[in-house]
Amino acid sequence: MSKLKLAKIKDNLIKERNLILKKLGGNDLSVDPNETPDPVDLAVRNYSKNVMLAVSEHESKNLTMIADAIERIEDDEYGLCKNCEDEINPKRLNAVPWAPYCINCQELQEKGLLDEN
């Protein structure tokens, strides 16, 4: 992969990372302790809080993967599967720039059959 393309990917990854960080930091759904909301209101808030937590979990996983991808660009290992070291399909990288595995290894990983280090 060309240096120019890698620089562009890195740029996008950093942008994506900042976007997630902003999203995570900008949502404070905590209830004001001086306030006594009615139960329905409270239930709705707790619900959205749980949804937010689930989102945060997803986002923080993405953050880890993005950081990892940036590191691999710096180490000149970007675009190679972390497991079998085959080239990851460029189409796949276009869709998921932080994909750490080729499609085969990704499948193994999702089934829990991959030894992750």
Residues found near Zn ion in the complex (CB under 5 A): 81, 83-84, 102, 105
- For residue 50, the minimal CB distance to Zn ion (Å) is 35
Give 10 or 92: the residue with its C-beta nearer to Zn ion: 92
Give 9 or 88: the residue with its C-beta nearer to Zn ion: 88
Judge whether 83 and 114 are in contact, CB under 8 Å.
yes
- For residue 114, the minimal CB distance to Zn ion (Å) is 9
- For residue 117, the minimal CB distance to Zn ion (Å) is 14
